[in-house]
A and B are shown apart, each in its own frame.
Chain A
Amino acid sequence: MALDKKIRELQEKREKVLLGGGEQAIEKQKALGKRTARERIMTLLDEGSFNEYDLFVEHDARDFDMDKKSLPSDGVIIGTGTIYGAPVAIFAQDFTVAGGSLGLMHSRKITKIMDHALKMRMPLIGINDSGGARIQEGVNSLAGYGEIFFRNTLSSGVIPQISVILGPCAGGAVYSPALTDFVFVVDNISKMFITGPEVIKTVLGEEISMEDLGGARVHSEITGNAHFFSLSEDECFEQIKKLITFIPWNNSRKARMFEPAEPRKEFNIEKIVPEDPTLPYDVKDVIRAITDNSDFFEIQELYAKNMVIGFGRMGGRTIGFVANQPLEMAGVLDVDSSDKAARFIRYCDAFNIPIITLVDLPGYLPGVDQEHAGVIRHGAKVLYAYSEATVPKLTVILRKAYGGGYIAMSSRHLRADFVFAWPTAEIAVMGPEGAANIIFRKEITSSKDPDEMRKRKVEEYKEKFANPYVAASRGYVDAVIEPSETRKILLHSIEVSEHKEISMPAKKHGIPPF
């Protein structure tokens, strides 16, 4: 019965470690509306799919009485499992153990699972809940962060990397999430910043709460660091699971095919867009009018709302949507919206997801703040991202497409594969009012009735240029289509571009306007 004894010994050892930081620490964690690290993993992954590794890893730090402290699993849980059958590698920091602080062994566990994820070409999910570097371990803890950042960068564009901020994530620790593809935050639970309120107060005399400095809302609305906002951990896990269904396991695969389905009847594509180009509407309704089940999974919903990005399916395939939003800031391109779109375009390109661009924009946002914030450099990101992308690129010009905005929004000139325009499309250097003021300045100012003359000239310009036919006559637009034909023609375009292959000039890498 020696074997029985050995097995019992293992079970006892496991049980002891599985308690993490102990009951008191767990109670504290729960009082904050937070689950424990293992509970989080179990909630997120398919039932019974989780396999844990390095359960018995311990630190060997000796300074500052650390040799007398035992930290179960060194404060982080790693393993593999599945989400809706998709393999994932996962780590979750355990705040109940030394505040989830990152020491050498803690970091080695994380890098071990990161190496597995990259080797096995499966998505990596990191749940962050940590007070930061384990100060007692000195430079070893900094080395640990560096090793993680390096692997985040190596894996970027090879496997999907998802960061979930379920507690504090401060100082250098924030850079791992920042290097990953998607960052999930939860209201009142997530906190991210480089220097905390204490330091800011001592050094600069500015007082601010943790929530106002780096809470979930701040990163969802102001900084754009977060991609998905939710009100509870449960809602957050549902979002992650949904995201996993839209993306492929790695960059050499395509996203899973789903059963094709028709859009819901309440989204009538003929009734959404007003003919007058100055009137707003919700472009998400146009997306829902063409996607399977009218499902649209929006990314960065609260940030730079004048640009809408997200995933939907058409004919069962995942599509990345990029659309100007006339409802917000008239759908202009500016620093933040350019940044938002460009990064998403590169994501889709890296992971073989076709891009559909819906165009309706008056151009770029004028203003000193925009120019000084570098709208030239940021705006250039959109051009770069679209030009560089080799996945199928389909464009529908719904209404206005003026000036540089027309070029930037996946135009033919950046090698869009198919460009369609609705009869309401206006493709021109600028809107009729601005154009008439410039072209007919003399006639207008020298006229006896300048207002009347301006009106006439605006009409004249509208007649000539405020339509899709000039662009169509040059082949810049492949087809002018009725709104009701949009889904059908896009489905066809996606199908014929399924095996698209183009080669780009050989290079180590480009120099995008970061």
Chain B
Amino acid sequence: MKENFKSLNINSTLYKTRLSRKFENRKPYSIADQGLVRSFIPGTITDVLVKEGQPVKKGDEIVVLDAMKMRNRLKSAIDGVVRKINVSRGDRVPKGACLVEIG
């Protein structure tokens, strides 16, 4: 076969083969940053309850995400200070978007 095959490593052996689109486009796993408040579902931001520079405690409500007719109040997972707010009221956000950064 004269095709340009790629390599796939299974148990230290490199196999010459084609790679599926699904495999090539897979998202590399990274450890979740607890300080990032993310949308767990796509929706609309109906309220931002904090300001940049504001100290917050674990469990404080940060933003309100309206999705599937439910108002979800997203909370901080850590104690810290609001470093950056990436959204404002009325924004539509996809799933997994970083809404607010706390550090």
Contacts and interface: CB of A to CB of B under 8 A. Distances in A.
Interface residues of A, number: 36
A327 interface: yes
B43 A205 contact: yes
A362 B26 contact: no
Given A329-B8, A330-B8, A369-B26, A205 B42 contact: yes
Contact of B29 (A332, A369, A432): A369
Interface string A354-374: 000000001101111100000
Interface in A349-405: 362-363, 365-369, 402-403
A205 to B, nearest CB: 4
Contacts of B67: 203-204
Given A204-B42, A367-B26, A368-B29, A328 B18 contact: yes
Interface residues of B, number: 28
A402 B12 CA distance: 13
A8 B15 CA distance: 73
B32 interface: no
Interface in B1-42: 1, 5, 8, 10-20, 22-23, 26-27, 29, 41-42
Contacts of B68: 203
A327 B94 contact: no
B76 interface: no
A368 B42 CA distance: 24
Which of B13, B42, B43, B94 has its CB near the most chain A CB atoms (within 10 A)?
A: B13
B58 interface: no
A434 B12 contact: yes
Contacts of A402: 11
A281 B1 contact: yes
A278 interface: yes
Interface string A313-333: 000000000000011111110
A431 interface: yes
B51 interface: no
B92 interface: yes
A430 interface: yes
A306 interface: yes
A328 B19 CA distance: 6
B94 to A, nearest CB: 7
Closest A-B pairs by Cβ, 10 of them = A434-B11, A330-B15, A368-B29, A205-B92, A204-B42, A362-B10, A431-B13, A433-B12, A434-B12, A330-B17
Interface of A: 203-206, 222, 277-281, 305-306, 326-332, 336, 362-363, 365-369, 402-403, 430-435, 437
Interface of B: 1, 5, 8, 10-20, 22-23, 26-27, 29, 41-44, 67-68, 92-94
